[in-house]
Amino acid sequence: MRKLLLSASLLLSLSALAQEEKVDQEIINKIIKEGTTNSQVMNIAFHLTDVSGPRLTNSPGYYRAADYAIAEMKKWGVSKAGLDAWGEFGQGWQLKKSYVAMTAPYYKPILAYPKTWTQSTKGLQKAEVVVINVKDSTELLQYKGKLAGKVVLVNRTDEYKHSFKPDATRYTEDELQKMAAYQIPTQPQGPRQGGNPNMARFGAAQRLNTLIKELITSEGAAAFLTASTASHDGTIFVQNPAGNRVDFVNGKPSVLEIAVAYEDLKTINRLVNMGTPVSMELDVQSEFTGKDVKGYNVIGEIKGTDPKLKDEVVMIGAHLDSWHGATGATDNAAGCAVMLEVMRIFKALNLQPKRTIRIALWSGEEQGLLGSRGWIKNYVGDRVTKEIKPEQGKISAYYNIDNGTGKIRGVYLEGNAAVQPIFSKWLEPFKEMGASTLTLQNTGGTDHISFNELGIPGFQFIQDEIEYDTRTHHTTMDSYDHLVADDLKQMAVIVASFVYNTAMRDGLLPRKEMPKPVQTQR
């Protein structure tokens, strides 16, 4: 009975919060009109993608995009627009030329893309293909002295799996209802007994892959070919080399590792396994870029106007860096364009927020949330010890976009039940736009985590997936043409409304309990 009374009390309290929440519908309507009829979001996205090119952290493309974002914000009247160093990252890298072809038993252009921070071929190289077929490290010994100057790939026994689902999808009402119905587990989830066999197999495969890479490197192989199991129909998933660490700071590249279209890799694999020699030509030119090894985020502010609240902050962000296979349109020029559009809307309407609005476009996200975690460490506190600085108590919320081009369907509340009635009120004007779902679920893998780690309410919006996991995420297809203009407009007006409401409410948003310090092994 006591639990029931507590639950009823909590529900009444949350209901009261919803009733008290004020929404200035006239301002929200202005935001919607400005963000739909006068939208600049696609123009911003064009400059971040087609004009700037790939935006690997600390590469020339990253700084082209950063310079553009800073210049636009200054033009709009955003203050403090500039670069902000978060810590040491290392050198950038860019691809200058790539030619990969099979020349025997016949000529065939190969769909391929060199991975980041790998070495060049030093001109046109002609090489035979060797397929490594091993189950454990002892079997590697048979290849010693046989890989110098060769193109190497590890034998693939997997078969192509046809997909009978569309690449692009939106959330169904049933899926959204299941998300909304999610309940936080009442009992803490303890460790699994006996460990996870899948993780054990993955770990063993990773260790073997590392040994293979070490052998290929020591032998002086010409190149190492790989293909993602998710690759299909000519789409190539390309990131950094697997199985070893790259020395960014000193500019020491790893062995040339090339991501190849799945169908092309399997063709080469079959030919060699069936006794048909395969020869290839390679001409890859790349370079480490810049001598400044610091990493930089892009920052800008709209200063608050209330004498008592102007030092409090509402933050928005997205990561500006991308991989290099395309121009990082859905991951994550989309999020950056939306957040920049939010700042433009505020200045175009001459909105006067009580609290300061701060935008952050992060670098190093693809290497492990480095830019946001670096910023947090510099200004907010230590994510391990949980020691905090005064800024921690001044940030009301952080809103993030990093799930592709799909429109907003709601918000992941990250277990923060106290904000549910508040956000429900704020979403009311956007139900016809398809955004009404609130879920207590967490979502991972992006920069809002850096804020939650220090007790700041950080939120990622629920977005329709469109082609994100099937076609564009970290692939050679992630280009401007895969952006959905109407979805980006919808995202911008919803984010701008949430930011305005957060900046104007009487108090800071409710917070969860501060996470406990991370226990480190001695």
Instruction: Work out the average pLDDT over 104-128.
Output: 96
Looking at the predicted structure, is the pLDDT value of residue 194 above 60?
no
> Do residues 337 and 461 both lie within one domain?
yes
pLDDT band for position 4 (cuts 50, 70, 90) = very low
Which one-letter amino acid corresponds to residue 205?
A: A
State pTM to two decimals. Answer: 0.93
Cβ-contact 319, 371 below 8 angstroms: yes
Q: What is the pLDDT of residues 467-487, one digit of tens each?
A: 999 999 999 999 999 999 999
Looking at the predicted structure, is the pLDDT value of residue 188 above 70?
no
470-to-53, 361, 368, 449, 475 alpha-carbon distances in Å: 22, 25, 22, 24, 10
Looking at the predicted structure, is the pLDDT value of residue 15 above 60?
no
**Residue 355 has what pLDDT?**
98
Report d(CA 479, CA 471) in Å as an integer: 11
When divided into structural domains, the chain yields a total of: 2
Instruction: Work out the average pLDDT over 190-206.
Output: 65
> Do residues 322 and 359 both lie within one domain?
yes
Q: What is the pLDDT of residues 165-187, one digit of tens each?
A: 899 999 999 999 999 999 988 76
Q: Is residue 1 part of a domain?
A: no
Q: Is residue 514 part of a domain?
A: no
Instruction: Work out the average pLDDT over 290-317.
Output: 97
Report d(CA 511, CA 417) in Å as an integer: 9
Residues contacting residue 162 through CB under 8 Å, at least 6 positions apart: none
Half-sphere exposure of 153 (CA within 13 A, CB side): 27
Q: What is the pLDDT of residues 226-266, one digit of tens each?
A: 998 787 899 999 998 865 566 766 777 889 999 999 999 99
**Residue 520 has what pLDDT?**
61
Domain span at residue 408?
22-89+293-504
Report d(CA 264, CA 231) in Å as an integer: 11
Give the residue from 239, 229, 168, 231 showing the smallest Cα distance to 474.
239
pLDDT band for position 163 (cuts 50, 70, 90) = confident
**Residue 10 has what pLDDT?**
46
> Do residues 137 and 78 both lie within one domain?
no
Give the residue from 80, 46, 48 showing the smallest Cα distance to 62.
48
> Do residues 419 and 493 both lie within one domain?
yes
221-to-128, 133, 382 alpha-carbon distances in Å: 10, 16, 43
Looking at the predicted structure, is the pLDDT value of residue 47 above 50?
yes
CATH of the domain at 355: 3.40.630.10
CATH of the domain at 136: 3.50.30.30
Tell me the backbone φ, ψ of residue 151, rounded to 5 degrees: -90, 125
Report d(CA 120, CA 261) in Å as an integer: 20
> Do residues 348 and 401 both lie within one domain?
yes
> Do residues 38 and 114 both lie within one domain?
no
511-to-188, 358, 398, 454 alpha-carbon distances in Å: 20, 19, 12, 11
List the single range of 59-63, 165-169, 353-357 with lowest mean pLDDT: 165-169
